[in-house]
Amino acid sequence: MAQPSVILATASYDHTIRFWEAKSGRCYRTIQYPDSQVNRLEITPDKRFLAAAGNSHIRLFDVNSNSPQPVISYDSHTSNVMAVGFHCDGNWMYSGSEDGTVRIWDLRTATCQREYESRAAVNTVVLHPNQKELISGDQNGNIRVWDLAANSCSCELVPEVDTAVRSLTVMWDGSMVVAANNRGTCYVWRLLKGTQTITSFEPLHKLQAHDGYILKCLLSPEFCDPNRYLATASSDHTVKIWNVDGFKLERTLVGHQRWVWDCVFSVDGAYLITASSDTTARLWTMSTGEAIRVYQGHHKATVCCALHDGAESAPS
């Protein structure tokens, strides 16, 4: 099976993962996932594998195979896995779960190498571009920075007491972090490097982005520069695109009929893929804010999507 240059996958409460031809909208592969719902999808940097985070495991599927079976399973979480991602060289994977832990895994052996206690259900985890710090957000409203070199929590923030942090995103150059919560608010900090390696947070902006929940926030990638955007996906059925310079609303993406759970930028920031409870995923062009493709095939809410349309980064 030839490797597609663009890998686009979605997962749904219908217990399937679907792979799509991004341009045509054709679904070319469906994986049955009977064990649980899938909460998050992520593609490895080398484009070879798709990680599916469920309850209470993570499964890795071969992108270039038709096998319905996972290649490997990661099994030591005890509740829903809500976040998953990879180190840039693909050697290890990180995850966050409603069991209150953040974990680091050896990708090849499927062993859990480290475990950090957040003491509340973890909703979101991102890796700092320095590849040395994980930032987590939990149901109690805590944001924590985990210093992987010191193997400890180096920073703790509570932007709004008892308001769940739903999603975190870090600018590609490590200059900014955004946290989105259940009240439709985004908190923005400038990230400062002190004399030590420890990252410190300087409050920059508070953005009342939506009246409903924000389910995902995402900053635009490197190749979108000099334009820098923040996308916020919401229970109000819309995705809003904000210019990071002043946080002015650039456009509102209207078309989904239900909650919008997830979004992902194309490598150049020119397009956005979204996943919604209306069962569809959509491809939007950022220049006009129009939906130019609808991916239809799921029978229930589509809750996560993953896209890798850049060059493969070779494993070290």
Q: Is the pLDDT of residue 314 over 70?
A: no
Identify the pLDDT of residue 79.
Answer: 98
Could you read off the pLDDT of 241-279 as tens digits, one per residue? 999 999 999 999 999 999 999 999 999 999 999 999 999
Identify the pLDDT of residue 2.
Answer: 56
| Confidence grade of residue 200 (pLDDT, cut at 50, 70, 90) | confident
Identify the pLDDT of residue 103.
Answer: 98
Mean pLDDT across the chain: 94
| Confidence grade of residue 315 (pLDDT, cut at 50, 70, 90) | very low
Provide long-range contacts, Cβ within 8 A and 24+ apart, for 244-253.
244/171, 244/176, 244/219, 244/220, 247/188, 247/205, 247/207, 251/289, 252/289, 253/284, 253/289, 253/291
Are 223 and 236 spatial neighbours (Cβ–Cβ below 8 Å)?
no
Task: Compute the average pLDDT of residues 291-309.
Answer: 97
* Cβ-based neighbour number of residue 15 at 10 Å: 18
Q: In sequence order, which residues have a C-beta less than 8 Å from that of residue 124 and are 6 or more positions away?
A: 82, 83, 96, 136, 137, 165, 166, 167, 168
Q: Is the pLDDT of residue 316 over 50?
A: no
Describe the strand order of the beta sheet including 281-285 as a list of residue ranges.
260-265, 271-276, 281-285, 290-295
In order of their start, the domains of the chain are 7-308 (2.130.10.10)
Q: Is the pLDDT of residue 85 over 80?
A: yes
| Confidence grade of residue 300 (pLDDT, cut at 50, 70, 90) | very high
* Cβ-based neighbour number of residue 192 at 10 Å: 11
